[in-house]
A and B are shown apart, each in its own frame.
Chain A
Amino acid sequence: MSLASVGNSTTASAERRAVSLEFRDVSKQYGRDGAAAVERLSFTVPAGAVCALVGPSGCGKTTSLKMVNRLIEPTGGEILLDGEDIMRRDVTELRRGIGYVIQQVGLFPHLTVAENVAVVPSLEGWPRDRQAARTAELLALVGLDPAAYARRFPSQLSGGERQRVGVARALAADPPLMLMDEPFAAVDPIARERLQDEFLRLQRELAKTILFVTHDIDEAVKMGDLIAVMNQGRLVQFGAPDAILARPASDFVAALVGADRGLKRLSLRTVGDLAPEAIGRQTLDGLPRFAPGTKLRDALSALLAADTRGGVALDGQGGARGLVTVDAIASALNDAPPDHAR
């Protein structure tokens, strides 16, 4: 990669490679014979993947996340970044190379939005003009107009705006790994959905390795390339969202994913993924029409609401591509979901 192309990239130095993250038999025990908060946790998140760590409160998911940047020190096992044990790294240098986003955001109330975003670059001693350029770039990236927001204080922002600044701050030094602890849990449902969607769009460009803690299985299914289900300090299932929804490994996981897990699987697929049936001689008037990006769950719901067995699958230009039927939607669950359907 030439220097010129780095400079032209919308995300500047975002060319740094993501890292793989591996938990190997990681345990955390408080006190000598206290119960283990985390017990022999092992899983691997490949570079560039989002792993959602999900489970009920007290299951050890936040403890596990905080062991990665050593806010909590493991009592057993090892955590590897690209194969290197994090305990061998200088703790300050390790943390500056990991983005950290938390539910309460934790913006510095006495610093402006721009100063908050530039915290790690300033600790790292970047020149001022480079800090300013990076700050403006990041604010734009998370959907905040730098001219309007840079000089505000956190107390002058809405909850959603604060979390956008929190994400921008975590991305500032372009860390290859991000730790996100319930990042969108404190904002209202509508803002949460927008933040989730925008973050997924961002992640498609940035391709960071992300460990994402949530208690919400729907959020885990939506955000995760992989889901690690935890209960009482242990990993109870690990895999792709569709696999976990299709085959819960235990009653606990089945209860966690919910009785509507079949419908949730439909959320992972779109009308565009179906091979539509050929349109016969019947009239298409009055049938529901679906853009290619429509989730199968929404399409099914629309068909049931319209009390019809079929609807029209549109192509990208709005022309009729074929018919979508309730039966075709049901049988789509026999195939693995495509990657793009989130």
Chain B
Amino acid sequence: MSTGEPFVRWDWIGDHLGAIADRVGQSLQLAAIAVVLGFVISFALATIAIRRRRLYAPIVVAATVAYTIPSFALFAALVSITGLTTVTAEVPLVLYTLVLLVPNIVAGFDSVPPEVLDAANGMGFSRAQRWRRVELPLAVPLIVAGVRLATVSTIGLVTVSAIIGNSFGGLGYYILDGYHRGFSTEILVGGSLSIVLAVAADVAFVALQRVLTPWARARAAVR
């Protein structure tokens, strides 16, 4: 960091508002794609694990092992396979969501009380009706909790994908570029906006949770 330079150069921020907005958009896009794909894959894996309990432990172990691979190393290694593409950015991001999503989805369906299932069966729900009208709605609180965790964690991880190249990384581009150039303003913009995004996503999911599950809130309002 050169001497005489102020810690934050507001004029630079003012000159780059458009580019910063683009990077915010890219962060959100990379995170959203990862969470959506991760959710689809996790839902499939969780469904398999619920049907065949023996497979639950191996699936979670595999997801955990994937999670332990350092993100920096994984992005770097993938460049040699899938090149400088969005695929390279998304594969690790998707992979890291699994360990957060699969256990929460399984726990969500496990949380449906057995007497509720007994009543549903006895009243003549078909399997599909029971799943859609009883099991899925009751699993929602834990599923949303998992998606919330995965989203916050992915928004943080998106910044690491900046190492693939300038056209990736979202706000992470500024962190990496600022580091290379010894320019603290850029690091600060990238870092703080990432935190703001993560917190905003967290709040949005809490709100979504409340809208989706009015019945869970009613418990607090017992006469």
Contact = CB atoms under 8 A, between A and B. Distances in A.
A36 interface: no
The 6 closest A-B pairs by CB, nearest first: A106-B119, A95-B124, A100-B122, A96-B124, A104-B115, A106-B115
A110 B118 contact: no
B19 interface: no
Interface in A284-341: none
A98 B121 CA distance: 12
Given A71-B121, A92-B124, A104-B115, A155 B219 contact: yes
B123 A110 contact: no
Q: Name, among B113, B215, B221, the residue most crowded by chain A CB atoms within 10 Å (CB to CB).
A: B215
A102 B118 contact: yes
Interface of A: 66, 69, 71, 91-96, 98, 100, 102, 104-112, 119-120, 123, 152-153, 155-156, 169, 179
Contact of B137 (A66, A110, A120, A155): A110
Interface of B: 113, 115-126, 129, 134, 137-138, 213-215, 218-219, 221-223
Contacts, number: 76
B130 to A, nearest CB: 10
Contacts of B213: 110
Contacts of B116: 106-109
Contact of B222 (A94, A108, A111, A155): A155
A6 B129 CA distance: 31
Contacts of B215: 109-112, 153, 155
A94 B124 CA distance: 8
Nearest to A158: B223
Contact of A156 (B117, B120, B124, B223): B223
Given A102-B118, A106-B119, A93 B218 contact: no
Given A110-B137, A152-B218, 4 more contacts: A104-B115, A110-B138, A153-B219, A155-B218
A275 B115 CA distance: 50
Contacts of B117: 106
A235 B216 CA distance: 44
Nearest to B122: A100
B123 A96 contact: yes
A108 B116 CA distance: 6
Contacts of A109: 113, 116, 138, 215
Contact of B123 (A95, A104, A111, A112): A95
B148 to A, nearest CB: 19
Nearest to A172: B123
A112 B214 CA distance: 10
A304 to B, nearest CB: 43
Nearest to A91: B124
Contacts of B120: 106, 108
Contacts of B118: 71, 102, 106
Contacts of B134: 108
Contacts of A66: 122
B123 A120 contact: yes
Contact of B119 (A100, A123, A152, A155): A100
19 contacts: A71-B118, A71-B121, A95-B122, A102-B118, A102-B119, A102-B122, A104-B113, A106-B117, A106-B120, A108-B119, A120-B123, A123-B123, A152-B218, A153-B215, A155-B215, A155-B218, A155-B219, A156-B218, A156-B219
A91 B134 CA distance: 19
Given A106-B115, A110-B137, A156 B125 contact: no
Contacts of B129: 123
A105 B126 CA distance: 20
Q: Name, among B115, B124, B219, B222, the residue most crowded by chain A CB atoms within 10 Å (CB to CB).
A: B124
A43 to B, nearest CB: 22
A102 B115 contact: yes
Nearest to B138: A110
Nearest to A66: B122
Nearest to B134: A108
B218 A92 contact: no
A270 B162 CA distance: 88
Given A110-B215, A120-B124, A105 B138 contact: no
Nearest to A154: B215
Contacts of B113: 104, 106, 109
Contacts of A112: 215
A110 B118 CA distance: 16
A66 B115 CA distance: 13
Given A108-B134, A110-B137, A152-B218, A92 B115 contact: no
Contacts of A156: 218-219, 221-223
A92 B223 contact: no
A326 to B, nearest CB: 48
Q: Name, among B120, B123, B214, B221, the residue most crowded by chain A CB atoms within 10 Å (CB to CB).
A: B123
B116 to A, nearest CB: 5
B118 to A, nearest CB: 6
A225 to B, nearest CB: 23
A179 B126 CA distance: 19
A92 B119 contact: no
A107 to B, nearest CB: 8
